[in-house]
Amino acid sequence: MNEERIGPALGKLPSGVYIATSILDGEEVGMLASFVEQAGFEPPIITAAISVDRRLNEAIQESGLIGINVLGEEDGRLMKPFNQQENRSPFDSLELEDNEYNIPQLTEALAFLACKVTGKIESGDHTIYAAEVMDGILNDPDRSPMVRIRRNGFQY
Protein backbone atom coordinates (compact mmCIF):
# COMPACT_ATOMS: atom_id res chain seq x y z
CA MET A 1 0.00 0.00 0.00
CA ASN A 2 1.28 3.44 -0.93
CA GLU A 3 0.19 5.74 1.96
CA GLU A 4 1.65 8.83 0.25
CA ARG A 5 -0.61 8.20 -2.73
CA ILE A 6 -3.72 7.01 -0.88
CA GLY A 7 -3.62 9.41 2.12
CA PRO A 8 -4.45 12.67 0.33
CA ALA A 9 -7.24 11.02 -1.68
CA LEU A 10 -8.73 9.23 1.35
CA GLY A 11 -8.64 12.49 3.31
CA LYS A 12 -11.04 14.09 0.81
CA LEU A 13 -13.92 11.93 2.04
CA PRO A 14 -15.94 14.53 3.96
CA SER A 15 -17.20 13.78 7.43
CA GLY A 16 -19.23 15.53 10.05
CA VAL A 17 -17.95 16.40 13.51
CA TYR A 18 -19.68 14.83 16.48
CA ILE A 19 -19.42 14.24 20.18
CA ALA A 20 -20.17 10.53 20.61
CA THR A 21 -21.36 9.65 24.12
CA SER A 22 -22.40 6.76 26.33
CA ILE A 23 -22.44 5.67 29.99
CA LEU A 24 -19.92 3.47 31.82
CA ASP A 25 -20.63 2.46 35.43
CA GLY A 26 -22.98 5.43 35.77
CA GLU A 27 -20.37 7.90 34.48
CA GLU A 28 -20.71 10.01 31.33
CA VAL A 29 -18.16 9.12 28.65
CA GLY A 30 -17.61 10.99 25.40
CA MET A 31 -15.17 11.81 22.65
CA LEU A 32 -14.82 13.76 19.44
CA ALA A 33 -15.83 11.56 16.53
CA SER A 34 -15.93 11.94 12.78
CA PHE A 35 -16.49 8.42 11.47
CA VAL A 36 -20.31 8.51 11.70
CA GLU A 37 -22.72 7.90 8.83
CA GLN A 38 -26.38 7.14 8.21
CA ALA A 39 -26.62 3.55 6.98
CA GLY A 40 -30.34 2.72 6.68
CA PHE A 41 -33.90 4.06 6.59
CA GLU A 42 -36.23 1.40 7.99
CA PRO A 43 -35.38 1.25 10.77
CA PRO A 44 -33.11 4.30 10.80
CA ILE A 45 -29.53 3.04 11.29
CA ILE A 46 -26.22 4.85 11.75
CA THR A 47 -22.71 3.46 11.80
CA ALA A 48 -20.00 4.82 14.07
CA ALA A 49 -16.36 3.73 14.06
CA ILE A 50 -14.64 4.11 17.43
CA SER A 51 -10.91 3.54 17.99
CA VAL A 52 -10.38 0.32 19.95
CA ASP A 53 -8.28 2.07 22.59
CA ARG A 54 -10.98 4.60 23.53
CA ARG A 55 -12.88 4.38 26.80
CA LEU A 56 -16.06 5.05 24.83
CA ASN A 57 -15.65 1.62 23.23
CA GLU A 58 -15.97 -0.03 26.65
CA ALA A 59 -18.95 2.17 27.53
CA ILE A 60 -20.83 1.33 24.32
CA GLN A 61 -20.20 -2.38 24.77
CA GLU A 62 -21.41 -2.29 28.40
CA SER A 63 -24.50 -0.13 27.89
CA GLY A 64 -25.41 -1.05 24.30
CA LEU A 65 -26.15 2.65 23.73
CA ILE A 66 -24.48 5.48 21.84
CA GLY A 67 -25.44 9.13 21.58
CA ILE A 68 -24.45 11.22 18.59
CA ASN A 69 -24.30 14.95 19.29
CA VAL A 70 -24.09 16.65 15.88
CA LEU A 71 -21.98 19.80 16.02
CA GLY A 72 -22.82 22.91 14.02
CA GLU A 73 -20.36 25.09 12.13
CA GLU A 74 -20.02 27.45 15.10
CA ASP A 75 -19.78 24.75 17.81
CA GLY A 76 -15.99 24.68 18.19
CA ARG A 77 -16.37 25.64 21.86
CA LEU A 78 -18.24 22.36 22.48
CA MET A 79 -15.22 20.42 21.18
CA LYS A 80 -12.70 22.13 23.46
CA PRO A 81 -13.46 20.18 26.68
CA PHE A 82 -12.94 16.91 24.75
CA ASN A 83 -9.44 18.04 23.70
CA GLN A 84 -8.29 18.92 27.23
CA GLN A 85 -5.54 16.90 28.85
CA GLU A 86 -6.62 17.49 32.44
CA ASN A 87 -7.99 14.69 34.57
CA ARG A 88 -11.54 16.00 34.77
CA SER A 89 -14.73 15.17 32.95
CA PRO A 90 -15.26 17.10 29.71
CA PHE A 91 -18.93 17.28 30.70
CA ASP A 92 -18.18 19.46 33.76
CA SER A 93 -18.31 22.66 31.66
CA LEU A 94 -21.23 21.65 29.41
CA GLU A 95 -24.97 21.76 29.90
CA LEU A 96 -26.69 18.40 29.40
CA GLU A 97 -30.27 17.68 28.46
CA ASP A 98 -32.12 14.80 30.14
CA ASN A 99 -33.41 11.95 27.99
CA GLU A 100 -35.08 8.65 28.80
CA TYR A 101 -31.96 6.67 27.85
CA ASN A 102 -29.57 8.54 30.19
CA ILE A 103 -27.18 9.09 27.28
CA PRO A 104 -25.20 12.35 27.59
CA GLN A 105 -26.97 14.88 25.35
CA LEU A 106 -25.36 18.29 24.83
CA THR A 107 -28.00 21.00 25.13
CA GLU A 108 -26.19 23.31 22.69
CA ALA A 109 -25.44 20.74 19.96
CA LEU A 110 -27.10 21.24 16.59
CA ALA A 111 -28.81 17.85 16.87
CA PHE A 112 -28.81 14.69 18.96
CA LEU A 113 -29.50 11.03 18.15
CA ALA A 114 -30.08 8.37 20.81
CA CYS A 115 -29.12 4.96 19.42
CA LYS A 116 -29.03 1.33 20.51
CA VAL A 117 -26.32 -0.93 19.14
CA THR A 118 -27.59 -3.68 16.84
CA GLY A 119 -24.26 -5.05 15.63
CA LYS A 120 -20.52 -4.49 15.49
CA ILE A 121 -17.53 -5.36 13.36
CA GLU A 122 -14.00 -5.50 14.74
CA SER A 123 -12.00 -3.92 11.93
CA GLY A 124 -8.33 -3.07 12.36
CA ASP A 125 -7.84 -0.21 14.80
CA HIS A 126 -11.57 0.64 15.05
CA THR A 127 -14.77 -1.08 16.11
CA ILE A 128 -17.60 -0.27 13.71
CA TYR A 129 -21.01 -0.16 15.39
CA ALA A 130 -24.37 -0.35 13.67
CA ALA A 131 -26.98 1.33 15.82
CA GLU A 132 -30.70 1.91 15.48
CA VAL A 133 -31.83 5.48 16.06
CA MET A 134 -34.45 5.38 18.82
CA ASP A 135 -34.92 9.12 19.26
CA GLY A 136 -33.53 12.39 17.99
CA ILE A 137 -33.94 16.14 17.98
CA LEU A 138 -32.84 18.96 15.71
CA ASN A 139 -32.27 21.92 18.02
CA ASP A 140 -31.86 24.64 15.37
CA PRO A 141 -33.01 24.05 11.77
CA ASP A 142 -31.32 27.28 10.62
CA ARG A 143 -27.78 26.15 11.51
CA SER A 144 -25.52 24.05 9.29
CA PRO A 145 -23.53 21.02 10.46
CA MET A 146 -19.77 21.20 10.81
CA VAL A 147 -18.02 19.36 7.97
CA ARG A 148 -14.42 18.24 8.06
CA ILE A 149 -12.04 17.48 5.20
CA ARG A 150 -8.75 15.95 6.32
CA ARG A 151 -5.41 16.57 4.61
CA ASN A 152 -4.45 12.94 5.00
CA GLY A 153 -6.75 9.94 5.34
CA PHE A 154 -4.30 8.28 7.74
CA GLN A 155 -4.69 10.93 10.45
CA TYR A 156 -7.59 12.45 12.33
CATH code: domain of residue 88: 2.30.110.10
Any domain includes 155: no
Any domain includes 4: no
97 contacts: CB under 8 Å, gap ≥ 6? 105, 106, 107, 112
Number of domains in the chain: 1
At residue 45, the pLDDT reads 98
Q: What are the tens digits of pLDDT across the range 18-63?
A: 999 999 999 999 999 999 999 999 999 999 999 999 999 999 999 9
Any domain includes 75: yes
Any domain includes 151: no
Among 21, 154, 151, CA closest to 78: 21
State yes or no: cis peptide before 145, omega within 30 of 0.
no
Q: What are the tens digits of pLDDT across the range 54-113?
A: 999 999 999 999 999 999 999 999 999 998 766 678 999 999 999 999 999 999 999 999
124 confidence band (pLDDT: 50, 70, 90): very high
Any domain includes 71: yes
Any domain includes 57: yes
pTM: 0.94
Domain that holds residue 115: 14-140
